[in-house]
Amino acid sequence: MELAEILQSVLVPSCLLLILIGVVIGNVFGCIPGLNGPIAVALILPVTFSLDIIPSMCLIMGIYMGSVTGGLVSAILLKIPGTAASVATTFDGYPMTLQGRATEALSIGAFASVFGGIFSAIFLMLLAPLLAQMAVGFGPWEYFGTALLSLSLVCSMMSGKRLKAFIAMTIGVLLTMVGMSPVDGVAARYTLGISSLESGFELVVVIIGIFALPEVLHSLGGIAEKAVPSKVEKRWFYVPSRSSIKKNLGVMLQGSVLGTAIGILPGMGGGAAGLISYEQAKRTSKTPEKFGTGFDAGLYSCESANNATTGGALVPMLALGVPGDTVTAIIMGAIALQGITPGPLLSMQQPVIFKTIIFIVFVANIFMFLFQITTIRFMAKIISIPKYLLFPIVCVFCAIGAISINNSIFDLMYLMFFAIVGYVLEKNGYPLSPFVLAFVLGSIVEENLRRSIIYYSDFAGCMSQVSIGTLFVILAVLAPIVLTALDIRKEKKKAGV
């Protein structure tokens, strides 16, 4: 019965069209350097207000899957990653282009992408319900520990920028405290006497301000530049040969497993997954010297891994209510705007919606592949769109998106404020991912900590509980300490050599 209901809700012309539109938008934003998936999803959020949960998820998941894959186009043709997930794609993709094998490289990237995406979607389908069942018994202390550990891991994984990541995270958490206090709702905090701030900052406005506008400001210096990609052979379909797929099946499986596992860890993302998978494939290869020279195995490994992170990142979001990366943090906000709370109760109380979202991920991956193999040569031309035409359109969408939420000019004013905050943070090397995840999880951290302290009398009483929440809090404290110690040890070894 559930299966029939899921198929009837997704396999209808309107929802399939929304998935296709999402894939197209995601590919365009992914393949143009300076734009990315978070910007695309943030800009489309105001549109989802008028849609039901299933159509809005169709549109957003299409953008999510399409944006990760779109980055391979500019990475292969220009040696410029369209997104952070496509950094490793340049290592062998661009050399293949220089050898006159651009079409082959693009087809390999498209196939490896759908392979990794489908693999992670299957993993999502199997693991998310199990995690959700385990998490049903979670209380406020366990939710606090889970959210705190997620934020700690996001910052701890950023080697070289760990302190700056924690500072950005702290700013994000503090900004969630603007407005009425949770639990009791008796005090207006940090409002500076402005009544419009009593309801706090809108998530959509913050995300648009932090991600979209700073990219425009960063690119002003090169706004007149026009990219000229290599020519792509004209074909109806771009699919790698059967022998190539068979030869690299093991590499794709390895990349998909690594990508899915890395995607589950908050803050790691497709960029880290692609690089780790690439190095692992090189380490286990019989011909490691070929990597970086236009070797197809290198392309298969990184593209399968970076797309596998999509399903992996959705696992903690759907099962625990904790986003796995920046895009899933925005998606989590989009689901919340529909009046639905992601987490273990979603699978228990609304199993059809839970399973439908997973099914949408499958369909979005298939649409993404079909779109890629039929339109690669057209996508290659999109790269050459002048930025002086593109960025003003992005700015207009930012302004419209901010105002449309509450029909308030005040929202537009603090959109400018967050654009400046995002620009200053990024210009000074402060990563934005911890900021966004902290803004999404900040209210969860504060509310559940306060509830826990009320229930157990004080923080010491909370820590004395033998529970997974206590374990997560301890791990959240130890993670940055241990990883920093390991980095110091590694630096000392290098200095000794």
The length of the chain, given as a count of residues: 497
| pTM confidence score | 0.74
Contacts of 88 (CB under 8 A, 6+ apart): 271, 274, 275, 277, 278, 298, 301, 302, 306
SS3 readout for 306-332:
HHHHHHHHHHHHHHHCCCCCHHHHHHH
Question: Per the structure block, which two tokens stand in for 165?
Answer: 């990541």
101 closest CA partner among 238, 275, 237: 238
pLDDT tens by residue, the chain, 497 residues: 577 778 888 888 899 999 999 998 888 888 776 667 777 887 787 788 778 888 998 999 899 888 888 878 878 877 767 666 777 888 888 888 888 787 888 888 889 988 998 998 888 888 777 777 776 677 888 888 888 887 888 788 777 788 898 999 899 889 888 888 877 767 788 888 888 888 888 877 887 788 667 767 776 666 555 555 556 667 677 788 888 888 888 889 998 988 888 887 765 666 677 777 888 888 888 888 888 888 888 889 888 888 888 888 888 888 777 776 777 877 887 787 777 777 777 777 777 888 888 889 889 989 988 888 888 777 666 666 676 776 777 777 777 777 776 777 888 888 888 888 888 888 888 887 788 778 877 888 888 898 899 888 888 888 888 888 899 899 989 988 888 888 888 888 777 65
299 neighbors 103 (Cβ within 8 angstroms): no
* Strand bridging mode 179-180 / 188-189: antiparallel
152 closest CA partner among 425, 446, 469, 438: 438
